[in-house]
Structure 1
Amino acid sequence: MIALQASVIARAVEGALVGDDVLVSGSVQTDSRLVEPGDVFVAMPGEVTDGHRFVGTAVAAGAALVVCEHPIDEAVPHVVVDSGLAALQALAAHVVAAVREHCTVVGITGSNGKTTTKNMLQAILERHGETVSPVKSFNNEVGAPMTMLRATSSTRFLVLELGASREGDIASLVRLAMPDVSVVLKVGLAHAGEFGGVERTQRAKHEIVRDLPETAVAVLNRDDDRVAWMADRTAARVRWFGLDAGADVAPDTVWASDVASSIDGTSATIHRGDATWPMTLRILGEHHVMNALAALSVADELGVAIPDAIAALESMVRAERWRMELLRPETGVVVINDSYNASPDSMAAALRTLAHVSRTSGARSVAVIGAMTELGESQVEEHDRVGRLVVRLGIDRLVVVGEGAKPVHDAAEHESSFGQETTYVETQEQALALLRATLEPGDVVLVKSSLSAGLKDLGDAIGGVA
């Protein structure tokens, strides 16, 4: 965080300073276990516990200032506020406003691909100046402000993931750090259960461009009709990206052709105007080309030469831990561990990748599937679709793990062409024993589920990760 006097922080968060007006230049933390000397600790009530219980731990670790919702009995300056969360957000807005002259803010949303696109932009932009982007998937009302607060006096690019669990969430984050460039990747069924349907998801996602000024830029996926709908609902200048060039493609549209994938990565030809460039990603999955197009569009908008941006993307070893992560254990199998997140769209994309790379390499394909969460009333129907897709794609073996994913097994079993090649087990331990007993060298194994299903550890186990 930029250096601030405690009195300035108190004014920014509309709180009352108790104690000395110290200068604070450390990080801002909401977890006392992460506090280091000179940091600010923001105590907030949470779903599991109350941060005020750990003020003493934070002070013992060297916190220079505490932001809290009631006076504390600790020998440390503290700012008393009505709401710790509101104070965190207000302080984040203050920091972004303070660095605005030298820092460009990029916001990213979408039902799928936010974290991968964020990582791609980090890889590109960090070669051209200090770049701050979220740790993991910090994209909610706490995580996004925490990312904003990491901006310093030398930060040139601030990349934000903006997620939502209800309408209005993204709008509130946009108000904290009005992006100079906003990206919308896709509107799908991820979290549709929380929103109450894909139409509400669409409205929620469009909040990232709805209130942008004319000086801002909206980078939109022209292949997704629900995203394209947003172009007429923003004052910002619109830039497009996609796989479908179309007859009316604008000169600044970044698009791709000749997309192909293998077990070693994904290739495409990138176009903008009359110029073309080859691109070969080490990241597995044709669907990641769309994320790359979004990142390249932003980079181009910010003045980074597209060949330089492509070179940065080609240097990436993986999208992120447990996201289409390729593992090659000594057993001779190939494991694609994609168990950090799952939606109907990302599940279908991962299964298509498995089918394609297995077919082109002549390997046996094995899909290990856990539950997709937050789908609401469509939970059973969407899992049923996955099971039928496995059959249509000709995947050789299906292992379904956990009660929440059982409709995947049931649907595949009902397809006569699949026969005995689908197995349902209740636990990861059962799945691990089964896979260790039946996998053969050369098999390509996809492990795919939502994070809460916990299959990331199963993927690591068969992938040889300690």
Structure 2
Amino acid sequence: MIALTLSEIAAVLGGTIHLHGSDTPDTVVSGIVDTDSRVMEPGGVFAAKPGETTDGHLFVGRAVEAGAVLAIVEHVVEEPVTQIVVPDVVTALADLARDVVARVRALGRLRVVGITGSNGKTTTKNMLARILQDEGETIAPRGSYNNEVGAPLTMLRVTDDTTYLVSEFGAAAPGEIAKLAGLVTPDVGIVLMVGMAHAGGFGGIEATTAAKSELVRAVAPGGLAVLNADDGRVVSMAAIAAEGGVEVRWFGQGETADVRASDVEVTASGTRMTVTADGVGIPLHLRVLGAHHVGNALAAIAAATALGVSLDDAVARLETLELAERWRMQPLGSDRVRIINDAYNASPDSMAAALRTLAQIAAPGERTVAVLGAMSELGEYAGEEHDRIGELAVRLRIQRIVIVGAEARRMFLAAVGEGSWDGEAVFFGTADEAYEYLIGELRDGDRVLVKSSNSAGLRFLGDRLGESFS
């Protein structure tokens, strides 16, 4: 965080200072801000956020032991550290982030990019950050820090020398993206796609579209919206951009896109394509697995080139990226048995894309195995969407379909109903049972996809399999 005095922080938060030791209202604080005492560093600020299962106020002492010099709290705790008491710690984080970003913006250097979409946010964020980091100090979220806590914590990492802030905006309900994006008023807003992820919370696909369009509305007048020309729902957001005086830059695989891909070839070593930006085309070998990441790469290139990065540099830097993020199309195992661990998040769209990738990358003589768990946050659409994925796995001729967990059982039943009658599809109640089966079932030449939502926990099954076949 930039250097601020205790009195400045308290004024921004509307809080009351309780000084400790030799601290005065003019004492300057400039360390990291976090809600996790385990990552606290000397000089840092600990935000004691109450949680669903525990309370951050219980960990103030640990944060102090790790070097915290200030705690933002909702009530005074008996620990040897200066504290600022606020009505709500989460609101305080947002207020502090808004103020810090505004102060750095006033220096004239900082450019802010916001990213949203039903799928692909974290991958695109990492791709864009990789391109921009060679241009100047770039701050981007750790993992999927994209909610009401994670997004402000990322914003609070900016310094006076930061050139780019890349923010990822997720949401499970209407209004959340508007709230987060409103903290920074992005110069560039990227909308990747609109799908069924979190549709249960939004109330349907049209409501999801409206929620994702909140980012376009939040872009500063005169700014840029980077929109997916291949997604009709995203295309409709161009009208919103026009109303707000925001320019549109299109990405996609159609001829009308400003940044587009052609001659796409998906292999087990990545995806090869020709990227054309503003009439200039060059080859790109994207080592991140999956054709569904082509759009993410195009979005990152579209934003980066609009910010002044040359196409040659953008492509060269993307080619150095081997993995988008842990548990996202992460290659594990060995050439003998290749495990693709993609079990951090799952929606109907990302599940279908991962299955298609599995079918595409298997060479003749190699067997495809899909280990699938439940997709969360689909609400009333959960049943039919799990059915659809089970049917798709059969239609793609996936040779072994392993369904794990009671919440995914409909996927298994749909696969059987679609024609997987001879043992191709199996069901296990737990990941341990699935692991024991797979250890005995997998053989040389197998290509294995592990895919589920985070809550299903199959990412750890993927890790176990990767280690067993390394």
TM-score (norm 1): 0.96
Decide whether aligned partners of structure 1 residues 46 and 300 sit closer, same or farther in structure 2, where only a CA change above 3 A counts. Answer: same
Pair 1:24 & 2:21 matched: no
Who is 1:437 aligned against? 440
2:252 to 207, 218, 242: 242
**What is the rounded CA distance, in whole Å, between the counterparts of 2:467 and 2:66 in structure 1?**
37
In the TM superposition, what is the alpha-carbon distance from 1:232 to its structure 2 partner? 0.3
Please state how far the C-alpha of 1:361 moved relative to its aligned partner: 4.2
| Contact 1:329/1:462, CA 8 A, preserved across alignment | no
Instruction: Return the match for 1:367 from 365, 370, 380.
Output: 370
Equivalent residue in structure 2 for 1:200, among 207, 211, 230 = 207
Deviations for 1:239-275, whole angstroms, at most 9, x for unmatched residues? 11001124xx5xxx10111111111110111112321
Indicate whether 1:230 and 2:233 are aligned. no
Q: Which residue of 2 aligns with 1:89?
A: 94
In the alignment, structure 1 residue 134 sits paired with structure 2 residue 141: yes
C-alpha change, 1:464 and 1:33, in structure 2 (3 Å) is: closer
Identify which range, 373-382 or 36-45, moves more after superposition: 36-45
Shift of 1:328: 3.1
Aligned equivalent of 1:351:
355
Counterpart AA for 2:49: M
Please give the alpha-carbon distance, in whole angstroms, between the structure 1 residues aligned to 2:64 and 2:240: 48
The change in CA–CA distance for 1:398 and 1:417 in structure 2 (over 3 A counts) is closer
Q: Given the alignment of the two structures, is residue 177 of structure 1 paired with residue 184 of structure 2, yes or no?
A: yes
- Please state how far the C-alpha of 1:196 moved relative to its aligned partner: 1.2
* 1:67 and 2:72 aligned: yes
Give the whole-Å Cα distance in 1 for the aligned partners of 2:334 and 2:466.
5
Counterpart AA for 1:239: R
Write the deviation string for residues 181-225 of structure 1: whole angstroms up to 9, x where unpaired.
Answer: 000001000010111111111111110011323221110001101
Residues 186 and 220 in structure 2, CA contact (< 8 A), matched pair in contact too: no
Amino acid at match of 1:264: S
Structure 2 residue identity aligned to 1:6: L
Q: Secondary structure at the match of 1:268?
A: strand
Residue 73 of structure 1: how far off its partner (Å): 3.5
CA–CA distance in structure 2, aligned partners of residues 392 and 432 of structure 1: 25
The alpha-carbon deviation at position 5 of structure 1 amounts to 0.7
Q: Quick one: which of 382, 385, 405 aligns to 2:385?
A: 382
Deviates more, 1:162-171 or 1:60-69: 60-69
Task: Classify 1:384/1:152 alpha carbon distance in 2 versus 1 (closer, same or farther; 3 Å).
Answer: same
Which AA in structure 2 matches 1:13?
L
**Alignment partner of 1:155: what SS?**
coil
Q: Secondary structure at the match of 2:182?
A: helix
Mapped to 2, the partners of 1:355 and 1:97 lie a distance apart of 48
Aligned equivalent of 1:267, options 266, 272, 286: 272
Q: Which amino acid aligns with 1:326?
A: P
1:416 CA displacement: 3.0
Structure 1 CA distance for aligned equivalents of residues 189 and 5 of structure 2: 32
Distance 1:95 1:417 in 2: 57
Bigger mean CA offset, 16-25 vs 276-285: 16-25
C-alpha distance in 1 between matches for 2:263 and 2:448: 26
Among 92, 113, 118, the alignment partner of 1:106 is 113
Q: Is the counterpart of residue 336 in structure 1 residue 340 in structure 2?
A: yes
SS at the partner of 1:53? helix
Give the conservation status (yes or no) of the 8 Å contact 1:35–1:62. yes
The answer to whether structure 1 residue 304 and structure 2 residue 309 are counterparts is yes
Q: Alpha carbons of 1:351 and 1:126: their partners in 2 closer, same or farther (altered >3 Å)?
A: same
Q: Residues 329 and 464 of structure 1 are in contact (CA less than 8 Å); yes or no, is this contact kept in structure 2? A: no
Correspondence 1:283 to 2:293: no
* Secondary structure at the counterpart of residue 280 of structure 1: strand
Aligned equivalents of 1:399 and 1:71: distance in 2?
51
Q: 2:423 matched to which residue of 1?
A: 420
Q: What SS is found at the alignment partner of 2:275?
A: strand
* Residue deviations 1:122-167 (CA, integer Å, cap 9, x gap): 1111111111100000000000000000001111111000011111
User: Secondary structure of 1:256's match?
Assistant: strand
- SS in structure 2 of the partner of residue 420 of structure 1: coil
Q: What residue is the counterpart of 2:155 in the other structure?
A: 148
Deviations 1:403-432 (A, max 9, x none): 111111111111236532111111111111
Cα distance in structure 1, aligned partners of 2:351 and 2:357: 10
Instruction: Give the aligned residue type for 2:388.
Output: R
Identity %: 54
Q: Structure 2 length normalisation: TM-score? A: 0.95
> d(CA) in 2 for partners of 1:153 and 1:213?
21
Aligned to 1:122: 129
Look up the equivalent residue of 1:324 and give its one-letter code: M
Q: CA deviation at 1:54?
A: 2.2
- Determine if the alignment matches structure 1 residue 41 to structure 2 residue 46: yes
**2: distance between equivalents of 1:308 and 1:261?**
23
Alignment RMSD (CA, Å): 1.4
Distance between the aligned counterparts of 2:125 and 2:214, measured in 1? 19
Classify the secondary structure of the residue corresponding to 1:377: helix
| Deviation, structure 1 residue 302 | 0.7
Deviations 1:279-304 (A, max 9, x none): 00111111100000000001101100
In structure 1, what is the Cα distance between the partners aligned to 2:296 and 2:396?
Answer: 24
- Paired position in structure 2 for 1:5: 5
- Which stretches in structure 2 are left out of the alignment for 5+ residues? none
Equivalent position SS for 2:467: coil
Indicate conservation of the 8 Å contact 1:391/1:418, yes or no: no
Cα 1:417–1:371 change in 2 (3 A) is: closer
Count of aligned residue pairs for this structure pair: 459
C-alpha contact 2:277 2:311 (8 A) present in aligned 1 = no
Assess if the C-alpha contact under 8 Å between 2:394 and 2:419 holds in 1. no
Take 2:212 and 2:419, find their aligned partners in 1: how far apart are those partners?
40
Q: Using the TM superposition, name which of 333-342 and 456-465 deviates more.
A: 456-465
Matched, 1:453 2:464: no
Letter in 1 for 2:122: T
Q: Is the contact between residue 333 and residue 465 of structure 2 (CA under 8 Å) also seen in structure 1?
A: no
